[in-house]
Amino acid sequence: MIGVLALQGAFARHVEALERCGAEAMEVRRPDQLEQCRALVVPGGESTTMAKLLLTFDLDRPLRRRLAESMPVFGTCAGMIMLARGVTDGRPDQYSYGAIDIDVRRNAYGRQIDSFEIDLSIKELDEPERPFTAVFIRAPLVERAGAEVDILAEVDGHPVLCRQGRILVSSFHPELTDDDRLHRLFLDSIS
C-alpha cells in the first residue's frame, strides 16, 4: 500500500499515477491510514499550510516517526520543501523534516504566472533517450545538496530531482503529466 498525503494539492493525480503503475494507493488524512502504508507521496501545495494541516490532523508526529524508521517517501514541489534539511524564504514558523540533505528556497522559480514546462534528461529512467516533461509551478530551488544526495536531473545547473536513500524529491509536478516514469522509479526503489 502506497499512501498519498491528501491534505492539499493534486493528491488524486498521484493516486492515479501510482495505480497506473500497478500499485495499490490510498489517500492519507489520518494517523491510522499512514500506519497502513509501506511508502508515502507528499504532493505539491503550499508548504506552510501543509505543515499546519499535518498538526491539525495529528499526522506530524507519526510522519516524523515513520521517516525515522526509513519509510520511503516521494516529495514533489511543496513535498520537497517539507522533506528538505533547510528552507529559506519561508515564514518564521516554517519547518521541515530534514529527511534529505538539501537546502531549498521556496518559490524560487517565480510566481504562479511564471509557471513553465521543460524537457529534462533524467538519470535512471527506463527510456533515457525520451525526455521527461517537467511542470514547474511556484517551484523550490535546491541551493545546496549534501554529498550523499544523488542528483538525477538539473535545470540551469540547479538540481530539480534528487534522491538520498529512500527519499526521492522533485521541484516539479510529475503527476500533472501522463508520463508515469518517475512514479515507477519510486515504486521500483521500494521493491
112-169 pLDDT, tens per residue?
666 779 999 998 886 777 899 999 998 999 999 999 999 999 999 999 999 999 999 9
Separation of alpha carbons 153 and 143, rounded Å? 14
pLDDT of the residue at 110: 63
Domains of the chain, CATH where assigned? 2-190 (3.40.50.880)
Percent of the chain's residues with pLDDT above 90: 78
Higher pLDDT, 191 or 13: 13
pLDDT surpasses 90 at 174: yes
Beta strand 141-145 with 150-155 is unpaired
Short-list 167, 154, 158, 114, CA closest to 136: 114
Helix (H, G, I), strand (E, B) or coil at 18: helix
* CA-closest candidate to residue 16, choices 135, 189, 183: 183
Q: What amino acid positions are annotated as catalytic residues?
A: 77, 173, 175
State the pLDDT at residue 55: 93
Average pLDDT over residues 9-22: 96
In order of 1, 9, 10, 42, 136, the CA distances from 78 in angstroms are 22, 9, 11, 8, 11
* Residue burial 43-66, b: 16+ Cβ < 10 Å; e: rest: bbbbbbebbebbeebebbebbeeb
Q: How far apart are CA 181 and CA 162, in angstroms?
A: 15
Q: What is the pLDDT of residues 85-125, one digit of tens each?
A: 999 876 666 778 999 999 999 876 666 666 779 999 998 88
pLDDT at 38: 97
| Grid cell at residue 117 | 514546462
